[in-house]
Amino acid sequence: MIVWIVAGILIALALIYGLAVGQYVLFWTIVLALVVMSGVITIMYCLNREVEKSNHS
């Protein structure tokens, strides 16, 4: 849990820094990477949850 909180804080700081100093490339790169990787993790979670169910049934 603590790892997620620390990671979240670091990412938020990077985003704020990017906006504050006008490094919009940094800002949008982090946003896009977060969105895409979250999508990948979500899809993998859904797929593997179904497989786990069939393994235990």
Residue among 6, 19, 32, 38 that touches other proteins (CB under 8 A): 32
Q: Does 55 bind other proteins (CB under 8 A)?
A: yes
Question: Can you read off the two tokens belonging to residue 53?
Answer: 């169910």
Distance, CA of 39 to CA of 36 (rounded, Å):
5
Q: Please check whether residue 26 is in contact with residue 14, taking contact to mean a CB–CB distance below 8 angstroms.
A: yes
Q: What distances in angstroms separate CA 37 from CA 18, 33, 43, one per listed residue?
A: 20, 6, 10
Residue among 8, 28, 38, 56 that touches other proteins (CB under 8 A): 28
Shortest Å distance, C-beta 19 to other proteins: 13
- Contact residues for other proteins, defined by CB under 8 A: 24-25, 28-29, 31-33, 36-37, 39-40, 43-44, 47-48, 50-51, 54-55
